[in-house]
Amino acid sequence: MEPLKVAIITGAGSGIGHSIAIKFAKHRYKLVILGRRVHKLEETAQLCCKQGLKEEDASILIQSCDVLVDSQIENVFKKTINKFERIDVLVNNAGYGIAKHFTEADIEDFDAMYRIHTRAPIKFMQLAYPFLKKTQGNIINITSCASELTPTSDLSPYVVAKAGMNIATELAAKDYGKDGKVRVNAILPGPVKTEIYLSSGYVKNKEESDKFFQFEESRSLLGRLANSDEIAAIAFFLANDETGMNITGSKINASSGENLPNSPVYPESC
């Protein structure tokens, strides 16, 4: 019997990362779920166990990790290999936003976004690669449609960092694919109803959040927005050898068409 595959998922305590963990659990992946809020990771683990994975059977490793601290990232890989002896999938999802225009943001804002959305994923990819090479595994980076084609100026530090993540995806795909048959792809979601908009200050309260999402739905070509479970389904499609084997260096846009030119801009007055 083939051993169960192992996936490392950053930012797995909520939102897209939470949904990806549950999706992979349904397909019997062993999981390493990372985040800063252990109680949220424990909630994710409980739902994963309901899909068939058993924490007591050593199928889930919950690891507190600040992705801005190299030693904590390195510790994740030590613990993962000690426990599971392999890595098949890395999902770089951890992050937050800073809602400032380019003219408002200071260099510290750009530094902060670079460290979490560009530098940290690169560090994870570099440490994961030797193990992924052995399993011919793959990397999935969760970036943003806001970094492509029609960049969102009022999220400037975030957008610049996510654009860096897109480029890192393509560069890693070239080197890791040729050298180790490791696939590297990015998913570029549009607005997804998660807590990132409130935590970034992009919206101030629930009423403003509801108004924002209503507007985003109205301007999407499909009249709807993806939810986190749908982004998770794309992640599994890419990770699955049957469906994703020939996909690498790709940026999968999941914005319901918002990435296309001449889409309306979210009004400042909202």
Query: CB 58: neighbour CB atoms within 10 A?
Result: 11
CB 17 within 8 A of CB 36: no
Look up residue 223 and give its DSSP letter. Answer: S
Is residue 202 annotated as a catalytic residue, yes or no?
Answer: no
Closest CA to 105 of 200, 175, 37, 26: 200
Q: Which of 29, 129, 158, 202 is catalytic?
A: 158
In sequence order, what are the residues at sequence separation of 6 or more whose Cβ sits closer than 8 angstroms to the Cβ of residue 167? none
Separation of first and last alpha carbons in the chain: 56
In sequence order, what are the residues at sequence separation of 6 or more whose Cβ sits closer than 8 angstroms to the Cβ of residue 18? 12, 40, 44, 47, 228
Alpha-carbon span 42 to 24, nearest angstrom: 16
Please give the helix or strand (H or E) that residue 37 lies within, else none.
none
Alpha-carbon span 109 to 62, nearest angstrom: 30
Look up residue 204 and give its DSSP letter. Answer: -
Q: What is the DSSP string of 95-155?
A: -------TTT--HHHHHHHHIIIIIHHHHHHHHHHHHHHHHT-EEEEE--GGGSSS--GGG
Please list the active-site residues: 158
